[in-house]
Amino acid sequence: MRLEGKIAGVTGAAAGIGRATALAFAREGADVAICDLDEEGLRETAVAVGELGRRAFTRVCDVTDSLALRGFIGDTVTELVGLDVWMGNAGMSGSDPAEEFAEDRWRQVVELNQNAVFFGAQAAGRHMLAQGGGSIINTASMYGLRSAAGRIAYCTTKAAVVMMSQVMAIEWASRGVRVNAVCPGYADTGLFRSGRRIDPGSLERLVAEVPMGRLVQPEEVAEACVFLASDEASAVTGLAMTVDAGWTARGSG
Ligand SMILES: NC(=O)c1ccc[n+]([C@@H]2O[C@H](COP(=O)([O-])OP(=O)(O)OC[C@H]3O[C@@H](n4cnc5c(N)ncnc54)[C@H](O)[C@@H]3O)[C@@H](O)[C@H]2O)c1
């Protein structure tokens, strides 16, 4: 098992990519600390972690509340005795043309997709620096690497996640803490499906842009995160790893 004896924290773990990754970490031998706004979903993830024979420390927590987020990280260290892997994953979409983007919505997306990811990585990083090592994975997006019309807040915040991961990576590289971003493509989750409800035809149009001609499964993103979390990735830091079925590589051809 690739994460035997490790403690891994994941935000937004009640569903989608966060849940799939918490379960993949547990399957590889990690005890997990998971938080989310969704209490019921969180409980289901915790039960599934238990069925894999690992411990789950759960906390209903709004990650945009930085005090609560730091509290969750501090309590994880106490309850599970350490923190080796941290995944700042909770995020939201936000799609409106730039000229119409509402100020409160903009601030909401920045708070969750960018500020909460930074404050989580900072708090986890402080602990890891003190203990002499660790692996941080921040969930960005292929939209953090390429612009997309109508997605000003999403693209901007996800690009910030890629860049903050790289800056933290170089600042902490000599002290044993690796920081990487994972950049999923169109992944089949509640978040992705909710954005397509208004226009069912948009799913077909989006899939047609993907070289593999299909959506990415959350479990495929989770497997990339297991690699980044594990000692197999001991020289991998500052990477923006796409898991997008070829979308970013496609260019305009
Ligand atoms: N699904 C995709 O196509 C896709 C593509 C690229 C990147 N991503 C990114 O992956 C991450 C996970 O997305 P997903 O598709 O699994 O979404 P999802 O909606 O299935 O899961 C997100 C989880 O985050 C939780 N959450 C939302 N706001 C929160 C808050 N303030 N505090 C705590 N928890 C909160 C939700 O309750 C939910 O359980 C996000 O950062 C998203 O931007 C998703």
Backbone angles phi, psi at 30, to 5 degrees: -90, 145
Pocket lining: 120 vs ligand 1, CB cutoff 6 Å: no
The DSSP 8-state label assigned to residue 112 in this structure reads I
pLDDT, tens digit (0-9, with 9 covering 90-100), for 52-100: 999 999 999 999 999 999 999 999 999 999 999 999 999 999 889 999 9
> What integer is the mean pLDDT of 6-18?
98
Residue of the CA atom closest to atom 2 of ligand 1:
187
The pairing of beta strand 56-60 with beta strand 240-243: unpaired
Name the band, by pLDDT with cuts 50, 70 and 90, for residue 213: very high
- Cα 156 to chain centroid distance, Å, stands at 16
Pocket lining: 186 vs ligand 1, CB cutoff 6 Å: yes
Pocket lining: 157 vs ligand 1, CB cutoff 6 Å: no
d(CA 11, ligand 1 centre) in Å: 9
Backbone angles phi, psi at 241, to 5 degrees: -90, 115
pTM of the entire predicted model: 0.97
**Which domains are seen in the chain, by residue range?**
7-242 (3.40.50.720)
Q: How far apart are CA 7 and CA 94, in angstroms?
A: 32
Concatenated DSSP letters for 30-88? -EEEEEES-HHHHHHHHHHHHHTT--EEEEE--TTSHHHHHHHHHHHHHHHT---EEEE
Residue of the CA atom closest to atom 25 of ligand 1:
12
Pocket lining: 206 vs ligand 1, CB cutoff 6 Å: no
